[in-house]
Structure 1
Amino acid sequence: MKQKIYQIDAFTTTLYGGNPAAVCILEKWLANDTMQKIAAENNLAETAFAVAKDDHYELRWFTPEVEVNLCGHATLATAFVLYNYYAFKENTLRFISPRSGELLVQKNDSGLLTMDFPTDVVTSATEQPNITEAIGKKPLEIFKGKTDYMLIYETQEEIEAMQPNFHLLNELDCRGVIITAKGNDVDFVSRFFAPQCGIPEDPVTGSAHTTLTPYWSDKLNKNILTAKQLSERGGDIQCEYHGDRVKISGNGVCYLVGEINV
């Protein structure tokens, strides 16, 4: 069987920037093992699979090693594919994730895509010596969300200079670790590490901004924020805090359209 596949650079207007995601729009669900093998073969942070169901699309995401609960950049990439290659005409695209519920994506006249995600609920965490050792520098504060730890630092330069120990990070009991600080030219900056999921450093992590946005909204006393993820590829994100929901906006660029054998 031949299956169409797309590779989209998400959260960027520049080819080879942002975070690449593969997207497969399926007629029906493949076996879990098959989807996991496709994701491993792609060897991208995430491969998204979507199936049309009545007035929405069911959506799932796989890293090269595991299925994950939520992936922002691959959701944006899937919306980009549906709008640009499947002639989806409505302004609002409705996804249902078996693990994260309803996820809405809107497209404005300029092509900017805005995702509406549930806000992560975070709690203050006590000092975590194993996390500090893995990251390499003691944070000002530590928070624990649904799947990730978030570490707060003072400056953008600290975030840029961090060189974590990925072997130690891989031993932590969490999906990943977010490090963040106030930005020099944007409201806040971040990096995201998730070696447990086969992603040592994610280029741009939409889902992490469901954790980052409420924190920085409260800290900076504003609901609309600009953000940058300081990976090698880099990415630009616009965020809006709406209490129990976070709107995360970005652009996409198509790198590849092809077919795979399934």
Structure 2
Amino acid sequence: MKIWIVHAFTDRLFTGNPAAVVPLERWLPDATLQAIATENRLSETAFVTPTGLKGNYQLRWFTPATEVPLCGHATLAAGAMLLSELEPGLEVVVFDTHAGALVVRATPEGYTLDLPKKQRAPWDAPGELARALGVNGFADAFVAEYANVVLESEAAVVNMKPDIAAINSIIRGPRQGMLVVTAPADEGKPYDFVSRFFAPGAGIDEDPVTGSAFADLAPYWCDRFDMESVVGYQASKRGGYMRAIQTLSSVRLLGQVAVYLRGELDPSLARLANRVDEHPEAPPRKKRRARKARQLPAIFEDPVLPGMDAPSAPANASPPPGEHLRPPTSHPAPPEAAPRIVVTGK
């Protein structure tokens, strides 16, 4: 089985968001998919299987902790590997996913990914969330795919030191513990807005670059700036950029990828697919022999010197050490026989 590790939404290694891409001939058990994703220790591992139609695949995403319903950067990474290395003659690949059909296209500028556009609704974000983020308040807040809060400045987003555990307890519902924080970019920056994404509910404290979050942010900032397309920068430790264009029903993201690793998974994974939950067997060992009781040598007995009587023990005292090992000096008298009762007839 092949595996790629791809840094998505960047043209340079060690930036952007890393994802593993694993193409399969057929689906392995869910426990095996989860075990592989856990072992990879990346924010997402994308598994793809062919449907039998050219350029059409099924796609699923797993974090180290669980399967997720949508992941933008791993979809872009999977599409890029299929179009560039597995089926280089194609220009478009369509993925069947839990989130619907997702389309990745190869372009001279990189790869595009079409994500569904979610309805945006105002949100009265609680004050305890502001305290968890260490900010005074929010300029705006709304809910689409995720809960989103807007801060006044780029510096407020970049310098924020959030309480991850508090975010996980405050944000409830189907997207528990998932929060987007955004703000307009400073003047003169090569991007229009800045953001960060936290997802402790999915086992990820902070995601490096999140395509599905940009699908929430692009329509908001396009409407606010009255623009057809915007460029966003996700201000994580790794950082990454993407351009987004909104249509009536979708958001088209444009990004690049950098391949970090091309490798092979051990073929035995397929054979061991149904054994991932088993504990490893301990190596065989010989049974221990029962130890025989040893009689202590006479030197451990209490010495009695010639001409001295053995000291008498108090009435309730325990016998001296070694007493139970001495042979008896005389045999105890046998118990008296019980009297016999003879019944005679008259």
What is the alpha-carbon distance in structure 2 between the residues aligned to residue 163 and residue 58 of structure 1?
A: 38
SS in structure 2 at match of 1:51: strand
Q: Is 1:10 aligned to 2:12, yes or no?
A: no
What is the alpha-carbon distance in structure 1 between the residues aligned to residue 10 and residue 225 of structure 2?
A: 25
Match in the other structure for 1:57: 57
Report Cα offsets for 1:149-174 as digits up to 9, x if no partner: 10001111111011100111222313
Amino acid in the other structure paired with 1:21: A
What is the alpha-carbon distance in structure 1 between the residues aligned to residue 161 and residue 45 of structure 2?
A: 27
Match in the other structure for 2:165: 167
What is the alpha-carbon distance in structure 1 between the residues aligned to residue 185 and residue 248 of structure 2?
A: 23
Match in the other structure for 1:218: 223
What is the alpha-carbon distance in structure 2 between the residues aligned to residue 152 and residue 20 of structure 1?
A: 26
Alpha-carbon shift at residue 127 of structure 1 (Å): 2.9
Match in the other structure for 1:157: 155
- The alignment yields a C-alpha RMSD, in angstroms, of 1.2
SS in structure 2 at match of 1:248: strand
Q: How many residues align?
A: 257
Match in the other structure for 2:207: 202
Q: Is 1:179 aligned to 2:155, yes or no?
A: no
Gaps of 5+ in 1: none
Match in the other structure for 1:115: 113
Amino acid in the other structure paired with 1:58: Q
| 1:130-149 alignment runs, 5 A limit | 130-137=128-135, 138-146=137-145, 148-149=146-147
Report Cα offsets for 1:129-167 as digits up to 9, x if no partner: 332232222211111123x21000111111101110011
Alpha-carbon shift at residue 253 of structure 1 (Å): 0.5
Alpha-carbon shift at residue 84 of structure 1 (Å): 2.2
Q: Is 1:82 aligned to 2:90, yes or no?
A: no
Report Cα offsets for 1:103-144 as digits up to 9, x if no partner: 11111134x000011012221111313322322222111111
SS in structure 2 at match of 1:170: helix
Match in the other structure for 2:275: none
What is the alpha-carbon distance in structure 1 between the residues aligned to residue 131 and residue 44 of structure 2?
A: 28
Match in the other structure for 1:39: 37
Bigger Rg over Cα: 2
SS in structure 1 at match of 2:70: coil
Amino acid in the other structure paired with 2:114: D
Q: Is 1:19 aligned to 2:17, yes or no?
A: yes
SS in structure 2 at match of 1:233: coil
SS in structure 2 at match of 1:142: strand
What is the alpha-carbon distance in structure 2 between the residues aligned to residue 65 and residue 199 of structure 1?
A: 9
What is the alpha-carbon distance in structure 2 between the residues aligned to residue 121 and residue 89 of structure 1?
A: 36
Alpha-carbon shift at residue 88 of structure 1 (Å): 3.3
Alpha-carbon shift at residue 79 of structure 1 (Å): 1.1
TM-score (norm 1): 0.95
SS in structure 2 at match of 1:257: strand
Match in the other structure for 1:91: 91
SS in structure 1 at match of 2:219: helix
TM-score (norm 2): 0.72
Amino acid in the other structure paired with 1:139: F
Match in the other structure for 1:237: 242
Percent identical residues: 37
Give the number of the structure with larger relative contact order, counting CA–CA contacts within 8 Å between residues 6 or more apart: 1
SS in structure 1 at match of 2:65: coil
